[in-house]
Structure 1
Amino acid sequence: MLREATGDDVNLMLSWRNQEINRQVSRNSHEITPAEHARWWSGVRADESRRVLVYVRDGRPCGVVTFFDLRLTGPRTASWGFYLDAEGLAERGETLPAWLEIMREAVDHAFDELGLDRLDGEVLAHNTVVRQMNRRFRFVEGTPRDEFSDGREITVIPIALDRADRRRR
């Protein structure tokens, strides 16, 4: 289940985002400070083009889905990303089912709740497992581009999923 994030979720979101596994597959790999996170949260709350949702599994919050650059006029598009409480889910042996579920629910939310025509995103080239999962969900990869972020060179691959191409349950 996805629900809107609240101020009560801020510390959980920061702790999950700072898990090593999440930092290594993110454009910004440094450990985010509480002050940085507070500025981000303040900006998100004031920005109509952004949505932050918490993924709840078996009554327990364990992930975050963000939608940003939301355009609801003309072609309805947005970009998205997500991360999980990787450590907690691994301890419970729930990583793969949670991963499938959060992606399914995020795609459903994008097209059924937000009414998007296209959902965009990015994946780092070295994140081959996520790239495979994206293909499973019918995302199409665009042209890779090299960037520098947090003192490291990364290859960023844009992804997109059109409404007509989404996998239906």
Structure 2
Amino acid sequence: MLRPATDDDLDAMRQWRNQPPNREVSITSHEITPAEHAAWWSRTRTDPTRRVLIYERDGVPAGVVNFFDLALDGPAPVGSWGFFLDAAGLDERRETLPAWLEVMREAVDHAFDELRLAELRGEVLAGNEVVRQMNRRFRFAEGQPEVREVDGRSITVIPISLARANRRRR
């Protein structure tokens, strides 16, 4: 289940984002400080081009889905997304893979059914083959890789996109 994030979720969101497995596959890999996180939330919660949702698995908060750069007006609404999970908690419960599949299904459904997007966009690190395979499973197409300098490291980022017409239906 996805639900809107609230102020009460801030500590958990930052803790999950700072878990090493999440930082390793994120474009920005530094540890997020409380002040940085609070400033982000202050901007984000009132930004009409963003939606931050909490993913709950069996009633337990277990991840964050972030929609951003939403352009919802016009004939072909678009937006970008990303997500991260409570890697430690899900691993402890041996629920990582089912949660990963579930959050992706729910996020794609939300993008097309609730936000009414015509296209959902995102980015993935080139070396993250596991996520790239999962994205292909969900029918995301990859674009042209781009090299960036972020957090003192050189990374290759691949844009991904999924058109409404190409989405996998349950």
Common fold: TM-score over 0.5: yes
RMSD: 0.4
2-side partners of 1:59 and 1:51: how far apart?
20
Counterpart in the other structure of 1:63: 63
Tell me the number of residue pairs that the alignment of Structure 1 and Structure 2 aligns. 169
Give the match for residue 94 of structure 2: 93
C-alpha separation in 2, matches of 1:123 and 1:30: 17
Secondary structure at the aligned position of 2:139 is classed as: coil
Residue correspondence of structure 1 range 12-161 to structure 2 within 5 A = 12-74=12-74, 75-161=76-162
Unmatched 5+ residue regions in structure 2? Answer: none
Secondary structure of 1:123 counterpart: strand
Report how far residue 81 of structure 1 moved: 0.2
In structure 1, what residue type is equivalent to 2:48?
E
- The aligned amino acid for 2:150 is S
Separation (CA, whole Å) in 2 of partners of 1:26 and 1:148: 13
d(CA) in 2 for partners of 1:127, 1:39: 29
Measured after TM superposition, the shift of residue 73 of structure 1 is 1.3
* Distance in structure 2 (CA, Å) of the matches to 1:126 and 1:90: 22
Offset of residue 143 of structure 1: 0.1
Task: Name the CA distance, whole Å, in 1 between partners of 2:57 and 2:46.
Answer: 28
Q: Which residue of 2 aligns with 1:164?
A: 165
What amino acid does structure 1 have at the position aligned with 2:51?
R
Distance between the aligned counterparts of 1:114 and 1:57, measured in 2?
Answer: 22
**Would you identify which runs of 4 or more consecutive aligned residues in structure 1 move more than 3 Å?**
none
Unmatched 5+ stretches in structure 1 = none
Q: CA deviation at 1:46?
A: 1.6
